C-alpha cells in the first residue's frame, strides 16, 4: 500500500490513541532538533539513532520535521551560523570546553565544531522547553476540544461511508493486526 494514503488515518490515530501527550511533545522536540541541524552530517545520524532508540512519537517528529526545516531554510540557518560562530569563536571562556568536546572520542565525531551544528543545537536547546510545553498543551487541547466534535461530524460520517476509504481503512487495520 502506498504509505501517504494511510497518513490521514495515522494523524487521526495520533489524536485518538492512548499515546501520552509527553511522548507526542518529545517527538515534536526531536523533530525540531532534526529540523534545525544540517541533514548531511554525523550529528543528524546521532539524532536519527535517538529517533529509533528512545520512546518518542515518530509520527509527530516526522510531521513537524518539514515545518522546522522550512524555518531553517527561510532564515534560521543564518541565525544558527552566526550563533554557532559566536559560541565557537568569539566567546573565549568556552574555548576549553570546546577543546575538551572536540577531543573526546565519540563527541569529536559528531561535528559539534561546525558553526551550523553548534548554532542549531543551541537554538533547539533554548526552544526545547517552550516547544515541549506548547506541544503537550496543544495535543491535550486538540484531543479535548476538537476530537469529540470531529468524531460526530457529518463530514467524518460521510468519509467513512465512501467505499474506497472504508476499504483502505479496514485494510490498514488488518495489516497492523488491529480489529
The set of cell numbers assigned to 171 is 485494510
Residue-number span of the structural domain to which 156 is assigned? 151-179
List, for residues 108-125, the tens digit of each pLDDT value: 778 878 888 889 999 999
Alpha helices by DSSP H, 72-146 = 77-85, 95-103, 115-145
Percent of the chain with pLDDT over 70: 74
In a shared domain, residues 108 and 176: no
Q: Does one domain contain both 123 and 70? A: yes
In-domain check, residue 50 = yes
In this predicted structure, what is the pLDDT of residue 172?
58
What's the whole-model pTM score?
0.74
Domain count, the chain: 2
Confidence band for 179, pLDDT divided at 50, 70 and 90: very low
- Shared domain for 173 and 119, answered yes or no, is no
34 domain residue, yes or no: yes
Based on the domain organization, do 140 and 174 belong to the same domain? no
Q: Are residues 138 and 170 in the same domain?
A: no
Looking at the structure, tell me whether residues 158 and 133 fall in a common domain: no
CB 115 within 8 A of CB 85: yes
Average pLDDT, stretch 11-22? 72
Q: Look at residues 91, 79, 67 and name the one whose alpha carbon lies nearest to residue 126.
A: 79
Residues 102, 132, single domain; the answer is yes
Same-domain pairing of 141 and 162: no
* Amino acid 3: pLDDT: 62
**Please, is 164 exposed, middle or buried when counting C-beta atoms within 10 Å of its C-beta (0-12, 13-18, 19+)?**
exposed
Q: pLDDT above 90 covers what percent of the chain?
A: 25
Return the top range by mean pLDDT from 5-14, 30-39, 111-120, 136-145. Answer: 30-39
Amino acid at each position: 500500500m502506498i504509505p501517504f494514503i494511510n497518513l490521514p488515518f495515522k494523524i487521526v490515530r495520533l489524536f485518538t490513541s492512548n499515546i501520552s501527550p509527553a511522548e507526542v511533545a518529545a517527538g515534536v522536540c526531536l523533530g525540531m532538533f532534526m529540523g534545525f541541524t544540517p541533514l548531511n552530517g554525523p550529528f543528524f545520524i546521532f539524532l536519527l539513532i535517538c529517533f529509533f532508540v528512545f520512546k518518542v512519537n515518530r509520527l509527530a517528529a516526522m510531521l513537524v520535521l518539514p515545518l522546522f526545516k522550512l524555518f531553517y531554510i527561510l532564515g534560521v540557518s543564518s541565525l544558527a551560523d552566526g550563533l554557532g560562530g559566536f559560541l565557537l569563536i568569539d566567546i573565549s571562556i568556552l574555548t576549553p570546553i570546546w577543546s575538551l568536546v572536540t577531543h573526546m572520542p565519540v563527541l569529536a565525531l559528531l561535528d559539534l565544531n561546525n558553526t551550523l551544528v553548534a548554532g542549531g543545537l543551541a537554538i533547539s536547546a533554548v526552544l526545547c522547553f517552550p516547544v515541549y510545553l506548547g506541544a503537550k498543551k496543544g495535543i491535550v487541547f486538540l484531543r479535548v476540544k476538537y476530537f469529540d466534535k470531529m468524531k460526530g461530524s457529518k463530514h467524518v460520517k460521510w468519509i467513512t461511508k465512501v467505499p474506497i476509504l472504508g476499504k483502505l481503512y479496514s485494510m490498514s487495520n488488518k495489516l497492523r493486526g488491529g480489529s
